[in-house]
Amino acid sequence: MKILMVCLGNICRSPLAEGILQEKAANAGLMWSVESAGTNNYHTGEPPHSLSQKVAKLNGIDISKQRARRFTPDDFELYDKIYALAEDVLYEMQRIAGKKFDASKADLLMNELFPGENMDVPDPWYGPEPGYHEVFKMIDNAADAIISKYGKINTISSSDKANNS
C-alpha cells in the first residue's frame, strides 16, 4: 500500500504523519510506502521543522532525512490513499490535481478516527512546542486507526497469496 500525507508546507504536520505511520506499519510487519508532500512550494527541499523533528525523536522516530516536496496531480496515480491534514489542504489538493483528483483516494486524516466530522490537525507552525506534541498525539491516534483498518486487508491478501503459492 502506498500512502501520501499532505499539509501546507510539508515541514510540520505531514512529515510527522509520514514518520509515525511508516514506523507503525513497519512494526506491524506491513510493507507500506508512506511519504509526504505540501500544497505550497515555499519549503521545497527543506528538512522538517526543528520542533517536528524534536517531538518525533522524543517518540523514537527519526524524520530528519525527509525533505519537503510539492504535491502534484500525478500523486493520484502513484498512491492508494492520500490524506490531507486539514480541510483547506484538501481543497488545494483538488485545485492542483484538477481532472486527476480522485475523491475515492483522498480524505482528511482525522476522518479515520472521527468519520464525517472533517476535523483538521491544527498547524503548529505558529505556536510553541506543546502544539507539536498535541499534533503528534492526534496523528499517532489516526495512524493506529489506519493500521487497524487497512493492515488487516493487507495481511489477509498477503496470507492468501502465500497459501496460493
- Of 12, 13, 75, 120, the active-site residue reads 13
Q: What would the DSSP string read from start to end of 95-139?
A: HHHGGG--TTTEEEGGGGTSTTS-PPPP-GGGS-HHHHHHHHHHH
Distance of CA 104 to the CA centre of its chain: 16
Segments of the chain assigned E as strands = 2-7, 33-38, 81-84, 106-108
Active site residue 13: yes
- Of 7, 12, 75, 120, the active-site residue reads 7
For residues 22 and 65, the answer to whether their CB atoms sit within 8 Å is: no
Active site residue 7: yes
- Of 12, 75, 120, 123, the active-site residue reads 123
Would you please indicate which residues are annotated as catalytic (active-site) residues? Answer: 7, 13, 123
